[in-house]
Structure 1
């Protein structure tokens, strides 16, 4: 049998994470499809649910989504009557985002599907391995931040 064509790439963490992410993204999108969501729309909905009144600019920063792309996602969620956008009282250029009751119900059902997906993807990992993996991912993420990014993280609630 011949060697893997990507054997050189498989020694790199980034390539391994890319391949793992592709598997995760495919599985989570399949789990979310019956709820009318995708990984990104679900992520936006969850953060709005968990942070009532969050502003679009803050949401963009939290989820690392370009603002024009976020507007499209918010339009989609608002059209489904899962969120509301209300002009902020203190800044007429900003919007406060809130989940509707309908959105909360969809989000709760989708969260159960994502929990099942997460268990599937982590099958074979014990609790300590899972925590170690999460810790390693957080460290890698921190290593990729500039000192300016770290300052931004500290200054924001």
Structure 2
């Protein structure tokens, strides 16, 4: 698992007492945030060689799963602003990973579809993301615990 590079601690801080966060660690949200930051940083590291970011990987994943999805539906599925979605879709389209196709009878809506190149990229990305998750979570959780964690997070996400 990649860890952030440690920056040099100024001499004056080396002798300072360690700062604790135990009061915060009792809260689920705080622990989720800390975990998310590590997961996101490592995801960035493994996706970067493929020319993807976490956001473009997410967009490509939903488009692969839902051929002919509209940008509005995509934004809604990923809980992103439609204006931000345009930038992500443009990047994937410019790299020939997705295509925008006219919807008959609707001049304002485009159907998004992964190109063959985009589907191949998604398969490669899926492999590296699976390895990333195994490296991060497999070291501390067994298979049953990982399945339980995923289930609990999905239940909370769906409920909210």
Q: TM-score range by the shorter chain?
A: 0.7 to 0.9
CA distance in 1, matches of 2:105, 2:127: 36
Q: Does 1:130 find its partner at 2:146?
A: yes
* Structure-2 residue corresponding to 1:72: 87
CA distance in 2, matches of 1:17, 1:34: 27
Q: What TM-score does the superposition give when structure 2 sets the normalisation length?
A: 0.84
CA distance in 1, matches of 2:128, 2:94: 23
Higher-Rg structure is: 2
The 5 A counterparts of 1:74-93 are 74-93=89-108
SS at match of 2:104: coil
For 1:116-142, what per-residue CA distance to the aligned partner results, in whole angstroms no more than 9, with x for missing partners? Answer: 011112123112111111121122223
Q: What TM-score does the superposition give when structure 1 sets the normalisation length?
A: 0.86
Query: Once superposed, what is the RMSD of the aligned Cα atoms?
Result: 1.6
Unmatched tracts of structure 2, length 5 or more: 1-15
Q: Does 1:7 find its partner at 2:22?
A: yes
* Structure-1 residue corresponding to 2:43: 28
SS at match of 1:125: coil
Q: Does 1:140 find its partner at 2:142?
A: no
> For structure 1, which segment, 70-79 or 135-144, has the greater mean C-alpha deviation from structure 2 after superposition?
135-144
How many Å apart are 1:89 and its aligned residue? 1.1
* Structure-2 residue corresponding to 1:44: 59
SS at match of 1:87: strand
For 1:33-80, what per-residue CA distance to the aligned partner results, in whole angstroms no more than 9, with x for missing partners? Answer: 010001110010011111111111111111111110000000100110
**Deviant stretches of 4+, over 6 Å:** none
- Residues paired across the two proteins, number: 144
Among 119, 126, 129, the residue aligned to 1:104: 119
